[in-house]
Structure 1
């Protein structure tokens, strides 16, 4: 584990203010800890974040002593968090990094080398790029200017053009003695970066620069406080008033007053034009204050810029909001006209259902109507089904209606109300339901009304990469519009998770404005509520003879293959296991019936349970699970029974699909038990007893600790109380060591021993 050199101060302290970034924080910390330059510390300040950020910081601190967490007992804002981090820091230099951004490869090495080459300046300016959710990377506008500086050292008065750099504190490193010695602290409110940047730049005696890209500035699609509209954006006026007070007290800075005034006016106009900052009803008051400040601080010799910006400056000077609004409306109208013409053809072909849907959307929302769907309308299943049944018990006033695809009506149990997708009644319930519950997305044509509540339950824990992360993997991303995908996710109000891993992943790969609800997966409640009698009943229904060991084999779908391709020679595998084992095979629901499996079943070698409607029953019936990358492993872990990973194509799958951790690593919390990468190894896992041995049990315990966090048998009740009854999500989550999963089947564990050549393998008691 890397540690600082004794009590010596590190070269660089990376100060990271942390608040509500649990989906991005690990990437931020990893980008620092993986730097080739190691003489640093991370002072990470938890600004009383309401999510799991504080726990993540403590986790990293326990692994690497260079991580120094600071926890606030109440939220104080990013400025105070940065101040605390700067005072706590011990490095020769302070580098501020926002916790949803990352350091580029080689950043700290480049900074250290340029500091040495320039004789340890007060401020080192660094380059950055903007990164977008669609993997677009945009270079900063300052690259050429930073490159032109070379190893020169200068002041802001000598090189005033460097005051035009993006005014944020994270694109510069500060010498700690300079920063702390001058008593620099952040002011309250947003836009505090601009004031700090200009004050420090105008105070520094020695400024240097590097054009090395050091910071990857994440352009968050949702969740950025600067992109949340409201009156808080009026704080920009106070920040710039403080800047000009600072200039008034230092007459020697008069040469840069006009430049900073232009920067201020441009910043006002930029903020005013952003709909995600200033709402329509606030634009006139904002413009009025901007105009007052423009007149107050305008230098006598100021010359307005040329072009459209100059016109806007003149309008600010005259305080003429009607003229400004007319100018911007004319521009906006031209753009909207072009868009209307472009979209006209697509609207001409809309069918009758669209008119019907629009009609129903004018009717009041039914406060006691809920629409359920699962697996692209395949039937009553998964988390939505568990919520539906619990709602009938706890919230009977809420009427549930299921959406089913045409042709699958026979899969709906008796007594369950349903609609066929795209039927007239379907559009009625979609338009009028208060609650919408699905484990995938509703179609693009659905428009969520104000007042409707959409719960996304998901249908697994992510091992394979999901959401916008799939963009890097063509096999997974084929024919997918990620823009449309995010528009569908924009409709989510609540995102249900069963572990912190999922919470973090969903927040990052679906950058939308939903609230994560960590209640557990309702579909897994059955694993804690079923009895020994339930287990035996299911085994009897499946035809599993008493005393036999049932192995459930569940391979997942391969994006790089078409159709089901057997990964195991099941005939050989069953022969090697012997007659005291029963192999249940369940292929992914994307695949249809497989004739090879049917033939093996007819010969009595396996039981093909691919079409069995309730996968939870199969898990309850099984003594052990064999899977590769299927999320069923996370659910099966609730039962605390052996899990064997069979991944014969790990290298291909991980490259083609992308994964979040190495299932074959053997590390606690990643590998759920014994593993094999070829058929011989898999057979040996069972022959040796490793599938149910001590090491497998230890790995399974660590896996359960990480992934069976919120599943305790009460998830559905928590969801129903929150969603339908507007109550606190009770009962509280039961600690893992106090939960009692359904008892394992009574079949005695057996192991296989090799017989003499030419004889059939037999079984002995373990």
Structure 2
């Protein structure tokens, strides 16, 4: 028999579900099954479950026709489970690597009805906070089991379903199920502990409980938080039905603690609902108070209990407001102290910047220009990428919108004729940033830019990610040196729209950049040109580059390594040209972070063209017959052309450890793979560059990442963002 059935409900967790599934399936223990329940999720959670099921027979997906909620979805998974034990793991949490053999050993050694495992709260800012395990069990129980009446302090462990592994037959025998509604764990976990004859505790951290920045019900205001009362009523109803004695005081204390926790969280109960919530707390206090009393906590927490007992809402509220006012005053004082030093250090050299800042703030008080759209790309390096494609489509489809580009002074000459622009850092620059209705960029605008009511910020991004990005970089500090994640989130909070080229990007951005923007999964506007390109377009580009029609062109475009500044993959252009033959031509393009470094001339200079300073990379894609890259997003764009791609990854192992990657590029490549330079040369010598295996890999890659690039992505963005049309 399978030892553990994992039940993983999935609803709006597409950004996290892969990590959850990988954390289970990659454990060094295989006697498991994973029942993934797609609770009619409106995102791609269901598709992710189906994808994993195709490649791992241990995954059994269930797709629900309508949304039933977390509790009923877990029940559906439970009904399909065959394991001796069931572990309910939410789709946005994940297991600690290597934990499962320890869980399995403890289950086999002690045969508990319920095994409680330790966890940490994994906050979005990469801070982890421990559970109450050490406080509740300062001396770990070890490999022993007990009944709840012998260790009632167990009730003080978090009452969730995901921190306990439960014997399936025990659940069936006692008829334990999840109830519908929010706080469904309450009416499952507490009764399970009361009914269990054998409770075990594994004081090993096994699960990361994700504390999401957005999207969790604990950060969602509304009257559904009142559903917590019905869940606790069910607990006391079961206690009466089962005639549970001796535990009522401890359970009652947990109920009041939980109510106070829900009420005390300002993200849950809106001000106008606080008094009614408190009134229900008082009613439940009177209704369920044990005749023998209960252990009232000491100190301020005990005062809260006494105020609930007396129904004194005004006093409770006044004390809370006084506490909050004190906290606000202390935070204000700390901020003021931090600001003093920078103010003192200001000098005359900053006078111009200060004046421009004042000018910008003054412009913020003027009306938003309803016709003005501001465009920028790559930190004002020029006219390119998705913003350029959107600008061109807007000129055609929304001529009433006036588009203005922001560029560095040294890049003005690269702008196409007729493009209106302002130079970064000037008064005009500050004015358009303050007054624009639309702000379109493939990176973030500077921190001083304010999000005005009525303005629309469009983040287009500039590639499908291989390497981890955003908040995910917190787990890879070597590759995130100098990152200010708090500042990043302030910038992300300005976004109204995030443009993505495929569902994979949508999933990764949702996790890396958690905020309340709207995702437009429409394809990449910059790839419209590639999708619609003709043979004539290709010929014109090659002629402009001085490339003959019969030359065999290889474009080499590696990415940069944040963790290894100055390092370049080993690549000898002369040896590559020898392999390509007399009709071979090599285009070399450095990453823009390297300021487009140029290759010095050499014996093979006639066959090598440095295209690092070439602004429109799409032209280079059209000219090339083959792309060689490593971890660059270039592969996703070039794949639109359905031409050979070679992944050259000589530092793959080091890169994925230091920088982090979102998927195994060697397992799912867009074509042939080489791990060293001799291997790269052999790919071309042997014909593996475009053999049957490479073509199969490219077809699968294109199906996953390029399906939306049909030549009309920019039009879809303009119609939604500028014209307000909905699909």
Q: Which residue of 2 aligns with 1:90?
A: 82
Matched, 1:163 2:155: yes
Q: Secondary structure at the match of 1:567?
A: coil
Q: Do the aligned partners of 2:584 and 2:607 also contact (CA within 8 Å) in 1? A: no
User: In structure 2, do the counterparts of structure 1 residues 172 and 696 end up closer, same or farther at CA, with 3 Å as the change threshold?
Assistant: closer
Distance (Å, rounded) in 2 between the aligned partners of 1:25 and 1:564: 34
Displacement after TM superposition at 1:676 (Å): 3.2
Which of 556, 560, 567 lines up with 1:557 in the alignment? 560
User: In structure 2, do the counterparts of structure 1 residues 40 and 444 end up closer, same or farther at CA, with 3 Å as the change threshold?
Assistant: same
Q: Which residue of 2 aligns with 1:269?
A: 260
Distance (Å, rounded) in 2 between the aligned partners of 1:384 and 1:262: 57
Displacement after TM superposition at 1:42 (Å): 1.4
Residue range with higher mean Cα deviation, 642-651 or 178-187: 642-651
Displacement after TM superposition at 1:616 (Å): 0.4
Matched, 1:683 2:681: yes
Q: Which residue of 2 aligns with 1:733?
A: none
Displacement after TM superposition at 1:320 (Å): 2.8
Displacement after TM superposition at 1:564 (Å): 7.2
Distance (Å, rounded) in 2 between the aligned partners of 1:433 and 1:241: 54
Q: Do the aligned partners of 2:219 and 2:268 also contact (CA within 8 Å) in 1? A: yes
Which of 713, 717, 720 lines up with 2:711 in the alignment? 713
Q: Which residue of 2 aligns with 1:289?
A: 280
User: In structure 2, do the counterparts of structure 1 residues 562 and 16 end up closer, same or farther at CA, with 3 Å as the change threshold?
Assistant: closer
Which of 578, 590, 593 lines up with 1:590 in the alignment? 593
User: In structure 2, do the counterparts of structure 1 residues 42 and 415 end up closer, same or farther at CA, with 3 Å as the change threshold?
Assistant: same
Q: Secondary structure at the match of 1:285?
A: helix
Distance (Å, rounded) in 2 between the aligned partners of 1:459 and 1:583: 25
Distance (Å, rounded) in 1 between the aligned partners of 2:238 and 2:697: 61
TM-score (norm 1): 0.88
Q: Which residue of 1 aligns with 2:200?
A: 208
Matched, 1:59 2:57: no
Which of 12, 33, 51 lines up with 1:41 in the alignment? 33
Which of 714, 724, 727 lines up with 1:726 in the alignment? 724
Q: Which residue of 1 aligns with 2:18?
A: 26
Distance (Å, rounded) in 1 between the aligned partners of 2:377 and 2:456: 17
Which of 439, 443, 446 lines up with 1:443 in the alignment? 446
Q: Which residue of 1 aligns with 2:319?
A: 327
Which of 339, 343, 348 lines up with 1:346 in the alignment? 339
Matched, 1:536 2:527: no
Displacement after TM superposition at 1:181 (Å): 2.4
Which of 117, 120, 123 lines up with 2:114 in the alignment? 123
Distance (Å, rounded) in 2 between the aligned partners of 1:367 and 1:583: 47
Displacement after TM superposition at 1:214 (Å): 2.5
User: In structure 2, do the counterparts of structure 1 residues 572 and 215 end up closer, same or farther at CA, with 3 Å as the change threshold?
Assistant: closer
Displacement after TM superposition at 1:28 (Å): 1.3
Q: Do the aligned partners of 1:437 and 1:454 also contact (CA within 8 Å) in 2? A: yes
Residue range with higher mean Cα deviation, 153-162 or 560-569: 560-569
Distance (Å, rounded) in 1 between the aligned partners of 2:412 and 2:32: 62
Q: Secondary structure at the match of 2:516?
A: coil
Spell out the pairing of 1:364-763 with structure 2 (5 A cutoff).
364-563=367-566, 565=568, 567-592=570-595, 594=597, 596-597=599-600, 599-600=601-602, 603-663=605-665, 665=666, 667=667, 670-729=668-727
Distance (Å, rounded) in 1 between the aligned partners of 2:294 and 2:598: 82
Q: Secondary structure at the match of 1:370?
A: strand
User: In structure 2, do the counterparts of structure 1 residues 152 and 661 end up closer, same or farther at CA, with 3 Å as the change threshold?
Assistant: closer
Q: Secondary structure at the match of 2:221?
A: coil
Q: Do the aligned partners of 1:126 and 1:171 also contact (CA within 8 Å) in 2? A: yes
Displacement after TM superposition at 1:679 (Å): 3.8
Displacement after TM superposition at 1:600 (Å): 4.4
Q: Do the aligned partners of 2:374 and 2:438 also contact (CA within 8 Å) in 1? A: yes
Displacement after TM superposition at 1:498 (Å): 1.5
Q: Do the aligned partners of 1:564 and 1:591 also contact (CA within 8 Å) in 2? A: no
Q: Secondary structure at the match of 2:129?
A: strand
Displacement after TM superposition at 1:73 (Å): 0.2
Distance (Å, rounded) in 2 between the aligned partners of 1:355 and 1:280: 36
Q: Secondary structure at the match of 2:671?
A: coil
Residue range with higher mean Cα deviation, 454-463 or 519-528: 454-463
Distance (Å, rounded) in 2 between the aligned partners of 1:306 and 1:564: 60
Displacement after TM superposition at 1:522 (Å): 0.6
Q: Which residue of 1 aligns with 2:349?
A: none
Distance (Å, rounded) in 2 between the aligned partners of 1:422 and 1:100: 42
Distance (Å, rounded) in 2 between the aligned partners of 1:593 and 1:497: 26
Q: Secondary structure at the match of 1:351?
A: helix
Displacement after TM superposition at 1:390 (Å): 0.8
Residue range with higher mean Cα deviation, 48-57 or 585-594: 585-594
Distance (Å, rounded) in 1 between the aligned partners of 2:525 and 2:366: 32
Spell out the pairing of 1:217-232 with structure 2 (5 A cutoff).
217-232=209-224
Q: Do the aligned partners of 1:564 and 1:594 also contact (CA within 8 Å) in 2? A: no
Distance (Å, rounded) in 2 between the aligned partners of 1:278 and 1:411: 54
Which of 97, 104, 108 lines up with 2:100 in the alignment? 108
Distance (Å, rounded) in 1 between the aligned partners of 2:594 and 2:145: 66
Displacement after TM superposition at 1:303 (Å): 5.4
Matched, 1:73 2:73: no
Q: Do the aligned partners of 1:86 and 1:180 also contact (CA within 8 Å) in 2? A: no
Q: Which residue of 1 aligns with 2:146?
A: 154
Distance (Å, rounded) in 1 between the aligned partners of 2:48 and 2:634: 26
Q: Secondary structure at the match of 2:422?
A: strand
Distance (Å, rounded) in 2 between the aligned partners of 1:423 and 1:195: 62
Q: Which residue of 2 aligns with 1:744?
A: none
Q: Do the aligned partners of 1:601 and 1:608 also contact (CA within 8 Å) in 2? A: no
Q: Which ranges in structure 2 are unaligned for 5 or more consecutive residues?
A: 347-352
Q: Secondary structure at the match of 1:56?
A: helix
Distance (Å, rounded) in 2 between the aligned partners of 1:398 and 1:187: 53
Distance (Å, rounded) in 2 between the aligned partners of 1:648 and 1:202: 57
The Cα offsets for residues 547-584 of structure 1, whole Å up to 9 and x where unpaired, read as: 22222221222324444757323234335534322222
Q: Secondary structure at the match of 1:148?
A: coil
User: In structure 2, do the counterparts of structure 1 residues 256 and 376 end up closer, same or farther at CA, with 3 Å as the change threshold?
Assistant: same
Distance (Å, rounded) in 1 between the aligned partners of 2:136 and 2:609: 69
User: In structure 2, do the counterparts of structure 1 residues 188 and 425 end up closer, same or farther at CA, with 3 Å as the change threshold?
Assistant: farther
Q: Secondary structure at the match of 2:300?
A: helix
Distance (Å, rounded) in 1 between the aligned partners of 2:629 and 2:556: 6
Q: Secondary structure at the match of 1:517?
A: strand
Q: Do the aligned partners of 2:589 and 2:596 also contact (CA within 8 Å) in 1? A: no
Q: Which residue of 2 aligns with 1:747?
A: none
Matched, 1:178 2:164: no
Distance (Å, rounded) in 2 between the aligned partners of 1:308 and 1:330: 13
